[in-house]
Amino acid sequence: MSVVSMKQLLEAGVHFGHQTRRWNPKMKKFIFDERNGIYIIDLQKTMHQLDMVYEEIKTRAQRGETILFVGTKKQAKEAIAEEAERCGMPHISHRWLGGMLTNFSTIQKRVAYLKELQKQEAAGEFELRTKKEALNLRRKMEKLDRVLGGIMHMGKLPDAIFVIDPKKEYIAVEESRKLGIPIAGIVDTNCDPDLIDYPIPANDDAIKAVRLISGLMADAIIAGRNLAKDAEQAMMAQAAADAGHDAQPEAVASEAAEADEHQPATPEQLEQLVREQSVDAAVASQI
């Protein structure tokens, strides 16, 4: 069963492509028809690609991988930020800085500076400065937070990225390809699908379409993490069961020994005890 219905795709306007004069011939295989000068995307192929990408993202999340959400155009930024936060993944939704991935160590230094500014403000240290200094620091902090706030907790390079409109986010695509980071993304009729490892042919300008597909990617991540959690709990339960099974023979042996101690003595055992006590008494009388 598909992760999305044809009705959902139609209602979100996923099938509307760009004008015919603004197209990339490599997208021809994903185009169904042309109407009124606009290309219509083949939603059967969109559903197929969505199912494939959903499973890929779910598997990666199950392995504990980090997926970076990228979408800075106005139609995408809100959905990207909200869906990434919903599934606990980092995101870039304001502006892609050159070197965000290829110069990651420098970006991390800026993130560390942002964290330090936030720490100082929380401790009330800004109030100890002049009004002008405090204002400048707050402006710096707000600017850094807009650009880097979504990756504050991304301590390493992402294992994959999900991008809205690779034509717009070409720098992110170039950096990811240079580093060998797999790319999943929405490709409209004006994009080059060959640049994307897991392309999803869809309208990248409709807010509803972007929200729908971004939400599915977030759902895939949540599903993958739940599978990992269930597997971990099952392993712990099995380990506990195995430990209990190993301890059972020892418990049985202990109970048997304890039972032997409480058995009544036989005549032979009583006679032996009497002899031992007589010997002990004889020895004691000689001391």
Instruction: Determine the straight-line distance between the first and last CA of the chain, rounded to whole angstroms.
Output: 94
Residue 50 shares a structural domain with residue 60: yes
pLDDT at residue 60 above 50? yes
Res. 187 pLDDT band, cuts 50 70 90: very high
pLDDT at residue 282 above 50? no
Which pLDDT score, from 0 to 100, does residue 103 have? 97
Averaged over 151-180, what is the pLDDT? 97
Q: Using an 8 Å Cβ cutoff, are 198 and 53 in contact?
A: yes
pLDDT at residue 283 above 50? no
- Distance between CA atoms of residues 188 and 138, nearest Å: 39
Residue 18 shares a structural domain with residue 136: no
Residue 75 shares a structural domain with residue 178: yes
Within 13 Å of residue 18, how many CA atoms lie on the same side as its CB? 17
Residue 226 shares a structural domain with residue 110: no
pLDDT at residue 62 above 90? yes
238 part of a folded domain: no
Averaged over 168-188, what is the pLDDT? 98
Whose CA is closest to 12, among 163, 207, 187, 189?
Answer: 207
Which pLDDT score, from 0 to 100, does residue 275 have? 62
Res. 264 pLDDT band, cuts 50 70 90: low
55 part of a folded domain: yes
Within 13 Å of residue 84, how many CA atoms lie on the same side as its CB? 27
Residues 6+ apart with CB under 8 A from 118: 141, 145
- pLDDT above 90 coverage of the chain, percent: 77
pLDDT in tens, 113-137: 999 999 999 999 988 899 999 999 9
Looking at 209, 232, 255, the residue that finishes a domain is: 232
Looking at 156, 178, 200, the residue that finishes a domain is: 156
Res. 257 pLDDT band, cuts 50 70 90: low
DSSP letters of 85-127? HHTT--EE-S-PPTTTTTTHHHHHHHHHHHHHHHHHHHTTGGG
Residue 178 shares a structural domain with residue 214: yes
pLDDT at residue 27 above 70? yes
Res. 284 pLDDT band, cuts 50 70 90: very low
Residue 78 shares a structural domain with residue 162: yes
Looking at 140, 156, 172, the residue that finishes a domain is: 156
How many helices and strands in the chain, by DSSP H and E?
8, 8
H or E element in which residue 230 lies: helix 207-261
Residue 86 shares a structural domain with residue 161: yes
Instruction: Report the domain count for the chain.
Output: 2
Residue 68 shares a structural domain with residue 108: no
- SS3 state at 184: strand
Res. 279 pLDDT band, cuts 50 70 90: very low
* The pair of three-digit structure tokens given for residue 206, joined into one six-digit string: 């409709």
- pLDDT above 70 coverage of the chain, percent: 85
176 part of a folded domain: yes
> Which CATH number covers residue 130?
1.10.287
Residue 88 shares a structural domain with residue 178: yes
Which pLDDT score, from 0 to 100, does residue 32 have? 96
179 part of a folded domain: yes
Averaged over 166-192, what is the pLDDT? 97
> Which CATH number covers residue 181?
3.40.50.10490
> Does residue 275 or residue 62 have the better pLDDT?
62
Residue type, 272: Q
Domain region containing 106: 102-156
Which pLDDT score, from 0 to 100, does residue 70 have? 98
Q: Where are the beta strands (DSSP E) in the chain?
A: 16-19, 31-35, 38-41, 67-70, 91-92, 160-164, 183-187, 198-201
pLDDT in tens, 9-18: 999 999 999 9
Res. 239 pLDDT band, cuts 50 70 90: confident
* The pair of three-digit structure tokens given for residue 27, joined into one six-digit string: 């997208």
- Distance between CA atoms of residues 40 and 49, nearest Å: 16
Residue 69 shares a structural domain with residue 187: yes
- Distance between CA atoms of residues 95 and 80, nearest Å: 12
Residue 118 shares a structural domain with residue 47: no
pLDDT at residue 174 above 50? yes
Residue 91 shares a structural domain with residue 175: yes
280 part of a folded domain: no
pTM of the model: 0.81
Number of other CB atoms surrounding residue 22 within 10 Å: 12
Whole-number average pLDDT of the chain: 89
Res. 259 pLDDT band, cuts 50 70 90: low
Crossing angle between the packed helical segments 104-122 and 131-148, to the nearest 10 degrees: 130
